[in-house]
Chain A
Amino acid sequence: MPPEAVTEHWGSEDARKQAAYLGMWVFIATEVLLFAGLFTAYGVYRSVYPEAFRAAQLTMEVGLGTLNTFLLVSSSILVALAVHAVRGNRPGLGGALLLAAALLGIVFLGVKGVEYSHHVREGGLPGDAYRFAEVPRVGASLFFTLYYLLTGLHALHVTVGVSVLTVLGVRSASGAFGPSYATPVELGGMYWHLVDVIWLFVYPILYLS
């Protein structure tokens, strides 16, 4: 949430901060529930088609998935350091760290795009478009549908997160934040960690078996 003049509306700056934090946590809860529907579908169909899911999973590019995990976790560390830097009155450093984290997010999306292009070439497409000769259709097409839904929705979140981090990074570099006003950086950081944590669940269920 962008800053707004403190009015008598807020009893104190603390209450205002607390509201912003609480709002973010509630938002994070809704995001978790949003993904929960897809995780449930994944669990159900994995138990219905264990072999097909395993066969489809073995065609995933574990190397690229692991690289992406590494990228996201690293960017999360950078964001955590950025929050620390802004709180410690070094907004310039914080801004640089945020922009670096956003850059890693962009690389993540690039790697994801490479993976998608491989799937498209092999015919590992969602729903009716599925024509992957290596893995028979029944069950595996559901795996790929869920793969696209989970990673696609996640990539959408990464895109939003990258934009947020970029804006925060530029503003931080121009000195908009400091120890007395770090809330936007903290909230943006929370969102980015959420994106990271969701990936930490998406990655093992899709790539590792």
Chain B
Amino acid sequence: MSPPAAESYLSDGRTLWSWLTTHDHKRIGVMFLVLTLFFFLVGGLFALALRIELLTPGRTIMGHLAYNRMFTLHGVTMVWLFMIPAIPSAFGNFLVPLMIGARDVAFPRLNLASVYLYVLGASVTLWGMFEGGADTGWTFYTPYSTTTGTAVLPVLVGVFIIGFSTIVTGLNFIATVHTLRAPGLTWMKLPLFVWAIYGTSIIQVLATPVLGMVLLLVALERVVGAGIFDPARGGDPLLFQHLFWFYSHPAVYIMVLPSMGVISEAVCAFSRKNAFSYRMIVYSTLGIAFVGFFTWGHHMFASGQSIFGSGAFGAMSMLVAIFTAIKIFSWLGTLYRGSIAIESPLIYTLGFMFFLFFGGMIGVAYSTTSLNLHWHDTYSVVAHFHFIMVGATVMAFLGALHYWFPKMFGRCFPAKLANSAAVLIIFGFITTFVPQFLLGNMGMPRRYADYPPHFQSLHVASTAGASLLAFGFLIIAAYLAWSLKYGAVAGDNPWGSDGFEWRSASPPPTHNFHVTPEYPTGPHEYAREEVPHAA
């Protein structure tokens, strides 16, 4: 094996210019990784500010208006600048061509354009933040978003532009998976991560244009008084909610499906078994992508939509739980009697499974209209979606970061430290968000900077948890940064994984494969001895 620095995508041109003009999917993936990590930091700092404000009743560090802006910026940053592009644009770009034995994605130049669209959109959004930021919440609900005097417009425009980046990425992956699979790599041999990215891409290209349109309408409402969502001009603000959630509920699956793909890979790699039921995971991925388009009304149970509508949307939402359960059982079945290696990606995987299960089951309770009204707009909802978005997606993101770090950079990180950090993150997460369920159930509303004193102990617990999380992230950032330079050289396949992406060198050469690999079997077909059952 050649030493990692000798020839790889990292050493193929070392100037900044060579990165800015690259068509290499791996470099584009790394750029997205750096960008999304930066915005994860920004959004995380907003979150910490929120938690510090909530440490005491009354004013702690900021007033109500600042708090409103802070949670809006936290939401906008985390949803559009981190969560949506994080796994598909960073890991998807890096891994999908490697996993299907291709040299690059189908449209490399469009791929580079998606980076620049993202940077442009993010810059406009950031500019809006410096202009004072929006105070509408990340959902931009009308009529408030069309009347408030804050800098909503640049944030809308920024998100609108980022939407194009998302669409381009999705389009690219769909074309790539259809046309660039290596000879012999049939659909049912594709790695499950590729399937997850494929399902995500379908949602991205179909849902994002609707978001673009609805943001455009809000912008026009502000600029020319278009009246589409304004009752005083004959419009209906509920139409905004319908159009917005038509995008934004599927967007939840843009955030969580790729994580499920990461988990499917990690579970197989660290239990040395192929997926318990490969086909079921594939079908449930597509099932979630499909059903996700028909559940948006469950965000609107308290908006006055028809009882029948609410019931139908509630029932459709429960279907998502069935598909998710299929996946969870399949992952458990994979772990069962596997040869388990307790490494940091597996710890994140286990955390993911627990949080997805917990958050998902509560989601089923929320999709029941009668129960929903009790929790509507309380802190419980905040806790629920953070269980999915942080508990599931961020865990999977960290799992992916650890699992593929040696693939991307050819270095190992200190394993024991990583394991401890993973445990710390999981405990920090539980401490942050479980109290929020209790707060919401007791009646603490979301989006308030103030609360009665008897809620304080739970808020303090939540803030303590958030500090643990922040501490954990700092440790991870420190050892990963250290490992980039000083980590042990990983070799091509430090985990001994049979995932297809490990068939090229780590870090891979610019052209990925010197010889197109052959695919006689699916991924993770570990040649294992049958373990005899106990007599």
Residues of A within 8 A of B (CB): 1, 4, 7-11, 15-16, 18-19, 22-23, 26-27, 29-31, 33-38, 40-41, 44-45, 48-49, 126-129, 137-139, 141-142, 145-146, 149
Contacts and interface: CB of A to CB of B under 8 A. Distances in A.
B188 interface: no
Given A11-B183, A19-B175, A29 B224 contact: no
Contacts of B226: 126-127, 145, 149
Interface residues of B, number: 42
A19 B106 contact: yes
A33 B210 CA distance: 6
Contacts of A146: 228
Given A15-B180, A48-B236, A142 B228 contact: yes
A33 B226 CA distance: 21
Contacts of A10: 180
A82 B211 CA distance: 36
Contacts of A16: 179
B206 A142 contact: no
B96 to A, nearest CB: 14
Nearest to A44: B239
Contact of B171 (A15, A26, A33): A26
B474 to A, nearest CB: 40
A30 B225 contact: no
Given A33-B206, A139-B234, 5 more contacts: A33-B209, A35-B213, A126-B224, A127-B220, A146-B228
Contacts of A4: 109
B233 A142 contact: yes
The 3 tightest CB contacts between A and B, nearest first, are A37-B213, A128-B225, A34-B209
Interface centre among A1, A30, A36, A44 (most CB of B within 10 A): A30
Contact of A138 (B103, B209, B214, B234): B234
Given A11-B183, A19-B175, A127-B226, A38 B213 contact: yes
8 contacts: A8-B103, A11-B183, A18-B179, A22-B174, A37-B213, A128-B233, A137-B234, A141-B233
A30 B206 contact: yes
B97 to A, nearest CB: 9
Contacts of B209: 30-31, 33-34, 36-37
B501 interface: no
B167 interface: yes
Interface in B234-275: 234-236, 239, 242-243
